[in-house]
Structure 1
Amino acid sequence: MGAVVMHNVVSVDGFIADENDDPGPLHEWYFSGDTPIGVGDGEGFDHSGAGSRFKVPSASSEYVRSTWDSLGTIVMGRRLFDLVNGWEGHPPAGDHVVVVSHRPKPEGWHPEASYHFVDGVAAGIAKAQELAGERTVAVNAGEVGGQILAAGLVDEVAMDVVPVVFGSGKRYFGSIDRQHLLEDPDVVIRSDRVLHLRFKVRR
């Protein structure tokens, strides 16, 4: 099985969006750089669901490209799915998406897309790993991501830290309520308007 990596862009004070689910400037570095990064035919999707070509800083390009190339499955919560309408059936990376939700897939929604609705985080990760095979499972941060970490199902934590302070909003680790130790960062990449960090979860 491939690694399960909790991954998101985050403010320096640990938020992935404000109280209204607006990420503000967190994703600007994806589109303001000098190096195009494509998915498949070169077209990607931003987090609003609108089609857009990614263009990242050169210092980020190899890390972003290799990360996206390694992905087999994305795991997300129902709230994010609803906010972006599942990226209209075209995830920004990977071939499959698992949505952790008590509600089923909306009737008639993009039947051609490999999106799987699973009730519960353990079942969600099991399905994601089955679909990903040896490739990486990426878990979106937030409430569902925090639940997956708390369940001991996350191997690594990856953070793209943007130099902005939110003060309040939606937390990277959701409402997780106990300490979890991480190893020293094994990836530290300083880029333009973003710092890429990656930590293994201590077992």
Structure 2
Amino acid sequence: MGTVIMHSVASVDGFIADENDGVGPLHDWYFSGDVPITGDRDGQYDHSGSGSGFRVSSASAEYVRPMWQEIGTIVMGRHMFDLMNGWEGQPPTGDHVVVVSHRPKPEGWHPEASYHFVDDVKAAIDKAQELAGERTVAVNAGEVGGQILAAGLVDEVAIDVVPVVFGSGKRYFGSIDGQHLLEDPHVVIQGGRVLHLRFRVRPS
């Protein structure tokens, strides 16, 4: 099975959004560089400068591009699904999405999309790994991500730290209780207006 990575962009003080789900400048670095992250299905990248897709610094692209290409399944909470309307059935990366929710998929919503709704975090990871095979399972940070980490189901934590202080809002780890030790970061990359960090979760 592939690695389970909890991932999101966060402020220096550990928030992924404000109280109203606004992200402010957290995602600006995704659109402020010269190098595209994603290409077409044949892996070809548009270097002409046209289009409005993700374009980051070269340092960020060297880190983010292979990471995104390895993702097979995204795991997200229902709040984010509703907020984004599930990216209209087309996630930014990966082939499948698992939504942790006590409510089913909205009736008639993009029946062609590989989105699966489960009501338990362990069941969500089991389904995500089944769908991903040897590829990575990417868990969105926040309340659901914190629950998955607390359940001992996360292998690595990846944080893209942006130089802004929010002061309050939605926390990267949600309302997780207790201490959870991580190893020293095995990835430390400085991009344009972002610092990429990855930590392996220390077994309890």
Structure-2-length-normalised TM-score: 0.94
Q: Secondary structure at the match of 1:103?
A: coil
2:150 aligns to what?
Answer: 150
CA apart distance, 1:39 = 4.5
Do the aligned residues in 2 keep the contact of 1:39 with 1:93 (CA within 8 Å)? no
Bigger radius of gyration, 1 or 2?
2
CA–CA separation in structure 1 for the residues paired with 2:147 and 2:52: 31
Maintained 8 Å contact 1:39/1:92: no
The 5 Å alignment of 1:160-179 reads 160-179=160-179
Mapped to 2, the partners of 1:170 and 1:39 lie a distance apart of: 31
Q: In 2, are the aligned partners of 1:99 and 1:116 still within 8 Å (CA)?
A: yes
Equivalent positions of 1:62-141 (< 5 A) are 62-141=62-141
Q: In 1, distance between residues paired with 2:192 and 2:156?
A: 24
Aligned to 2:47: none
Q: What is the CA-CA distance between 1:40 and the residue it aligns to?
A: 3.4
> 1-side partners of 2:177 and 2:37: how far apart?
37
Secondary structure, in 3 states, of the residue corresponding to 1:25?
coil
Q: Give the superposition deviation at 1:58.
A: 1.0
* Structure 1 match to 2:181: 181
Q: Which runs of 5+ in 2 are unaligned?
A: 44-50
The one-letter code matched in structure 1 to 2:15 is F
After superposition, the Cα gap between the structure-2 partners of 1:26 and 1:115, relative to the gap in structure 1 and judged at 3 Å, is: same
Matched residue type, 1:106: P
SS of equivalent residue, structure 1 residue 29: helix
Cα displacement (A) at 1:52: 4.2
CA contact (8 A) 1:6 1:141 kept: yes
Counterpart of 2:46 in structure 1 is none
| Partner Cα distance (1:39, 1:143) in 2 | 31
Q: What is the CA RMSD across the aligned residues, in angstroms?
A: 1.2
Distance (whole Å) between structure 1 residues aligned to residue 192 and residue 36 of structure 2? 15
TM-score normalised according to structure 1 size: 0.94
Alpha-carbon distance between aligned partners in 1 of 2:93 and 2:149, rounded to the nearest angstrom: 21
- 1:75, 1:99 within 8 Å by CA — same for their partners in 2? yes
Q: What is the match of residue 45 of structure 1?
A: none
Q: Which amino acid aligns with 2:54?
A: F
For 2:101, the aligned partner's letter is S
Shift of 1:37: 1.8
Consecutive unaligned residues in structure 1, runs of 5 or more: 43-50
Q: 1:170 to 1:67 in 2, by over 3 A?
A: same
Change (3 A) 1:20 1:161: same
Percent identity for Structure 1 against Structure 2? 81
1:70·1:136 contact (CA, 8 Å) conserved in 2? yes
* Residue 45 of structure 2 corresponds to residue 14 of structure 1: no
After superposing on structure 2, the runs of 4+ consecutive aligned residues of structure 1 that deviate more than 3 Å are: 39-42
